[in-house]
Amino acid sequence: MGEGLISELKLAMPWGHIAAKAWGSHKSPPVLCLHGWLDNANSFDRLIPLLPKDFYYVAMDFGGHGLSSHYSPGFPYDHQNFVSEVRRVAAALKWNRFSLLGHSFGGTVGGMFSCIFPEMVDKLVLLESSPFILETNELENMLTYKRKAIEHMLQVEASKKPSQVVSPEEMLQGFLKNNSHVGEECGKLLLQRGTTQVATGLFLNRDRRITRPEYYFNFISRELFVHSIRKLQARVLFIKATQGFYDLRRENDANTELVLFVTSSLRSTLKERFQYVQVPGNHYVHMNQPQHMAGIISSFLQSKERIPAHL
């Protein structure tokens, strides 16, 4: 796709702006792309050029990530706020129906959005993700997470330390150490949009009030999950990487039971509107080897099966 077709967007929000990156013509059918936890819109730089040219792809930076504004002081980040950002972006772009493509955390935001606003989403692509995070393995921890989220925010507010400035090399090595699934090339891509250069080096753009993903997730019961996905009007493509993640904190990664529960519930609820595909690769396969999934996503986006209006 020609470089000329990529544009930067800055959408006004009550606390500042949401930044986004767009590919193609705004007259084409829209696809909103949602990045993973602590990533940014560059997450899709290698995949989107391999997808059909007759769509308008917009990859947004969630609040506090990438080039988007941080939330106002004292205003907490939480899963539902990210879901409402999707609604705000759709309003700013005057979209009333679109497709969603979400990686990891972005997929859980897209999944919840698609159940709350079912009439707005025609297709949902989940890359190494789940439309919701189930509480099954987490009941013991949930109050601790809420406590830690509050304590972390207060701690960051109390510490007046400026952002740490490090050399580009040190920044990249630190990033790769914390993100073992991201290759060096892709690490550089994410840091391009995730850092700001100053005379002495780089600092991270993201809001330091945002920390571990489990502090911010909305965990739900299996019962609520099954109930929620009945609301979906979208067709769903679920792409799982063979060496991907099966568990939010990676502690129960050998236990695939939850993913099986999610996929079998989606299949029995959505029937022919659900497609499950496994591809070789790890949690960042969409960046590391986008060619492993580009064909599948392209066919899914272009498929025209009519969905009855009343489900």
Does some domain include residue 308?
A: no
Q: Any idea what DSSP says for residue 140?
A: T
Q: How far, CA to CA in Å, does 100 sit from each of 9, 57, 69, 114, 216?
A: 18, 10, 22, 9, 21
DSSP 207-273: -TT---GGGT--EE-HHHHHHHHTT--SEEEEEEEEES-SSTTSTTTT--HHHHHHHHHHHHHHGGG
Does some domain include residue 194?
A: no
For 49-76, write each residue's pLDDT tens digit.
Answer: 999 999 999 999 999 999 999 999 999 9
Does some domain include residue 46?
A: yes
Range of the domain at 82: 7-137+218-302
**How many alpha carbons fall within 13 Å on the CB side of residue 205?**
22
Predicted local confidence at residue 137, as pLDDT = 82
| Number of domains forming the structure of the chain | 1
Residue 96 pLDDT exceeds 90: yes
Q: How far, CA to CA in Å, does 236 sit from each of 187, 258, 266?
A: 29, 18, 8
Predicted local confidence at residue 3, as pLDDT = 46
In the chain, what is the straight-line distance between the N-terminal and C-terminal CA atoms, in Å?
37
Does some domain include residue 21?
A: yes
For 104-157, write each residue's pLDDT tens digit.
Answer: 999 999 999 999 999 999 999 999 999 999 998 889 999 999 999 999 999 999
User: CATH number, domain at 31?
Assistant: 3.40.50.1820
For 244-274, write each residue's pLDDT tens digit.
Answer: 886 555 555 666 888 899 999 999 999 999 9
Question: Quick check: is 167 catalytic?
Answer: no
Does some domain include residue 158?
A: no
Predicted local confidence at residue 162, as pLDDT = 83
Q: Which of 291, 286, 59, 287 is nearest to 188 (CA)?
A: 287
Q: Any idea what DSSP says for residue 198?
A: E
What gap in Å lies between CA 74 and CA 190, rounded to an integer? 27
What gap in Å lies between CA 139 and CA 143, rounded to an integer? 8
What gap in Å lies between CA 17 and CA 68, rounded to an integer? 6
| Phi and psi at residue 198, to the nearest 5° | -125, 175
Q: Is 171 helix (H, G, I), strand (E, B) or coil?
A: helix
Predicted local confidence at residue 258, as pLDDT = 86
Specify whether the CB–CB gap between 221 and 134 falls below 8 A. Answer: yes
The torsion region of residue 271 among left (phi > 0), alpha (psi -120 to 50) and beta comes to: left
What gap in Å lies between CA 109 and CA 85, rounded to an integer? 10
Does some domain include residue 205?
A: no
Q: Is 134 helix (H, G, I), strand (E, B) or coil?
A: strand
Predicted local confidence at residue 4, as pLDDT = 45
Among 43, 68, 104, 114, the one annotated catalytic: 104
Strand partners, 239: 127, 277
pLDDT class for 23, splitting at 50, 70, 90?
A: very high
For 270-295, write each residue's pLDDT tens digit.
Answer: 999 999 999 999 999 999 999 999 99
What gap in Å lies between CA 2 and CA 5, rounded to an integer? 6
Does some domain include residue 199?
A: no
For 168-221, write each residue's pLDDT tens digit.
Answer: 999 999 999 988 899 999 999 999 999 999 999 999 999 999 999 999 988 999
Predicted local confidence at residue 232, as pLDDT = 98
Does some domain include residue 236?
A: yes
Specify whether the CB–CB gap between 234 and 114 falls below 8 A. Answer: yes
Residue 311 pLDDT exceeds 50: no
